[in-house]
Structure 1
Amino acid sequence: MAIKHLRTAFSSQYQPGQPARLQSGEALQEPGGDYEGLHKQMKRLFNSKPGKKYGRFSEDIGESPFSSWLKDYLEDKQGFTSFTDRLFNQWQELLTNCQEEFVGQLMVVHEALADSDVVYLMILESDGALRFDGNQALDTTDVLSTSRLNLAMRVELDDWLGDNAAENYLTLVHARGTGEPGELFIRLCGFTNQIDVEKETLTFLDAVEAFAKSSEPEKAGEVRTRAYEFCKEQHALGEPVAIEALSGYLDEDEPGRFKEFASKSAEMPESGVLHPDHRKVKKLVRIAGSGGGMSVSFSSDLVNQAIYYDRDKDALTITRLPKALREQLERYLENRED
């Protein structure tokens, strides 16, 4: 990983209706050191964030000119400083009209990877911390939060401007509870959603489940497990699921078998890429449910081995109880008898 350019700007809006405050830092080229460490941690948060959205730039450049400014910078029509000056000024204008309070650091990073370049826009938040001042009096100070990331976007530059341009090259983190500032961030980025993650999750689950059922009974569980593992690994990398790569992972001897099966049994996108929600994909390997004061979760491999379901009686029989659960039950019953 190598940062080509990085710049931050502190922005705040404490009194809606009044001009927002913005203070920008210097544009840094190949800053290295602590900046690389900070960016690595924020990328880790970005990749692990559930519920990401995928899309492309809005065609309304007048409303969201970020894409045109970014393109000018990449084509050397303006420098990184001029590019980020424009971006920061627009962010200040958007916050000035915001009716909710806001405070945060807007960080722009142009990163060079081994095989491509990416650009990140991130809103960094702060945590309060205690310290002793010069007079040994207890005081509070703000420090950057390295455990929260609620607003961020990544631009895959090659997928956007490369010879084989992709339909969707933006990945957005837009957490719940970000309110109006979150909507303004999306407007700043010019993001428009083109991916129905819920639909693609169902497509993924249906294709894997059908493929598992078509496999030999003793291998069905392995198919589900490997599909979940692959999806989980891609999520950790912040990458979608490529059907061709998944097909090779599921069957190394016949790497094209799942891809061919899925194309016939499910409605696969032309891109050959799916963006399933890894939290829901967990249904492939775990069965869970809660309600009425009860919460149950277990590996799907245990069905008809250690866990048996009687449809007629709507009853679940569990054998080979976990040791900790058995001990809790024994203590509880002993106390009740006493």
Structure 2
Amino acid sequence: MPIRHAVMHFIDKKPDGSPAALHLASSDLPVTGAVENLVYDVNSAYNSKAGKVWGFFHGESGAYPLSGWLAKVVSGEMNFIDFTRIAAEHLCKLMEESNLAVGGHVLFALQSNGPTDYLTVAVLQQVEAVAVASDLTVATSRQLDVGSIHMGARINLSEWKNNPASRQYISFIKGKSGKKISAYFQDFVGCQQGIDGAGETRTLLKAFSDFVESEDLPTDAAREKAQTLADYATAQIKLGEPVTLQELSELLDEDRPRHFADFIRNADYGLSPEIPADKRTLKQYRRFTGRAEGMSISFEAHLLGERVEFDQASASLTIKNLPTQLVDQLKRSAAA
């Protein structure tokens, strides 16, 4: 996505209760190849993060001022650099109030994808890296650890502006270390959860299983459609875009492009037209796997209940239509 503005500030904060020091940039970063690569890498790392939460702004207030400042940027009343400076000051204050908070380089990137504008905010840490110079000498250097983003958010500015009733125009990373560490960043964005991405994804997968059963599809056709769904959802996750039910329906059946979407609507699953697919939930859906004591089992999820039966009481599986190669091996073993 083309970069309209990119600004980076630095908050020097240790998790020991000491005061934070804020170092503000005076201007936008020039859009060089290095900056383009940085923003691209941040977007890729952000999109790949599992467990993101989707939501919308709290009402503007003294506790949640970001949306008010951002509205002035969207309307042209405030320059982007001024917005990032006042936002970084607010984030610095929230970090000081959280003893566990760790500072870092705060990147603000405003990008456009066609008619849609996005604002990405990410807190980046530095790590030591070893570099080899042209004369083969080795030295250590400090580099941004783009692949390990633990604090980040993305705001679909166009969705926020054009569809204020939406409850999913903001996504943010839900910290792994617990709410106490990540709560201050959520407060900084001023976001409340609106859409449960994991829950919506589970409902979509349940709807798809019901759809396959209602259509009485052959195993190969069911497997192909399941792969189409998984591939499309995975691609949307990588792009940072939601799964669109109508688009998915078209991919599942080109001859009847509304068939799956109509099935979902008529069955009243309560799904939104656009679903922020959850990476972790989708990964669990694709295969069931397990390994213990010399035994390894793996099968595609849609086979459960068809070729694979699970008895919960005895914790046992019954597998029908075993692979020919495995059957031959078992026959040879039995005859030995």
What's the counterpart of residue 171 of structure 1?
Answer: 171
What's the counterpart of residue 61 of structure 2?
Answer: 61
Contact kept? 1:289, 1:296, Cα under 8 Å: yes
Secondary structure in 2 matching 1:194: strand
What's the counterpart of residue 112 of structure 2?
Answer: 112
For 1:137-286, what aligned pairs fall within 5 Å after superposition? 140-162=140-162, 166-177=166-177, 180-218=180-218, 219-269=221-271, 271-286=272-287
- Residues 179/303 of structure 1: CA separation in 2 closer, same or farther (3 Å cut): closer
What's the counterpart of residue 13 of structure 2?
Answer: 13
> Displacement of 1:20 after TM fit?
0.6
CA deviation vs aligned residue, 1:58-105 (integer Å, no higher than 9, x gap): 115210101101111221212122211211111121122221251311
- Residues 132/35 of structure 1: CA separation in 2 closer, same or farther (3 Å cut): closer
Secondary structure in 1 matching 2:103: strand
Distance in 2, matches of 1:117 and 1:313, equals: 51
Distance in 2, matches of 1:284 and 1:214, equals: 19
Count of residue pairs the alignment pairs up: 320
> Displacement of 1:26 after TM fit?
2.9
Distance in 2, matches of 1:34 and 1:276, equals: 31
CA deviation vs aligned residue, 1:94-124 (integer Å, no higher than 9, x gap): 1222212513111111112222111111011
Secondary structure in 2 matching 1:99: coil
Contact kept? 2:56, 2:166, Cα under 8 Å: no
Q: Which consecutive unaligned segments of at least 5 residues does structure 2 have?
A: 330-336
What's the counterpart of residue 70 of structure 1?
Answer: 70
**Amino acid aligned to 2:275:** L
Secondary structure in 2 matching 1:31: coil
What's the counterpart of residue 288 of structure 1?
Answer: 289
Distance in 1, matches of 2:301 and 2:182, equals: 38
**Amino acid aligned to 1:273:** E
**Amino acid aligned to 1:195:** I
For 1:72-151, what aligned pairs fall within 5 Å after superposition? 72-100=72-100, 102-130=102-130, 140-151=140-151
Distance in 2, matches of 1:217 and 1:27, equals: 59
Q: Greater CA deviation, 20-29 or 206-215? A: 20-29
**Amino acid aligned to 2:273:** G
- RMSD (Å) for aligned C-alpha atoms: 3.2
- Residues 140/274 of structure 1: CA separation in 2 closer, same or farther (3 Å cut): same
Distance in 1, matches of 2:117 and 2:44, equals: 17
What's the counterpart of residue 329 of structure 1?
Answer: none
> Displacement of 1:39 after TM fit?
0.2
**Amino acid aligned to 1:209:** S
Distance in 2, matches of 1:287 and 1:224, equals: 14
TM-score (norm 1): 0.83
Distance in 1, matches of 2:89 and 2:296, equals: 50
- Residues 69/321 of structure 1: CA separation in 2 closer, same or farther (3 Å cut): farther
Q: Which consecutive unaligned segments of at least 5 residues does structure 1 have?
A: 327-338
Distance in 2, matches of 1:17 and 1:295, equals: 49
Contact kept? 2:60, 2:66, Cα under 8 Å: no
CA deviation vs aligned residue, 1:125-152 (integer Å, no higher than 9, x gap): 211224699xx99875421113211111
Secondary structure in 2 matching 1:217: coil
**% of aligned pairs identical?**
24
Contact kept? 1:155, 1:169, Cα under 8 Å: yes
**Amino acid aligned to 2:81:** T
Contact kept? 1:213, 1:220, Cα under 8 Å: no
Contact kept? 1:118, 1:156, Cα under 8 Å: yes
Contact kept? 1:16, 1:96, Cα under 8 Å: no
What's the counterpart of residue 3 of structure 2?
Answer: 3
- Residues 275/110 of structure 1: CA separation in 2 closer, same or farther (3 Å cut): closer
Distance in 1, matches of 2:259 and 2:308, equals: 33
- Residues 304/50 of structure 1: CA separation in 2 closer, same or farther (3 Å cut): closer
Distance in 2, matches of 1:291 and 1:61, equals: 54
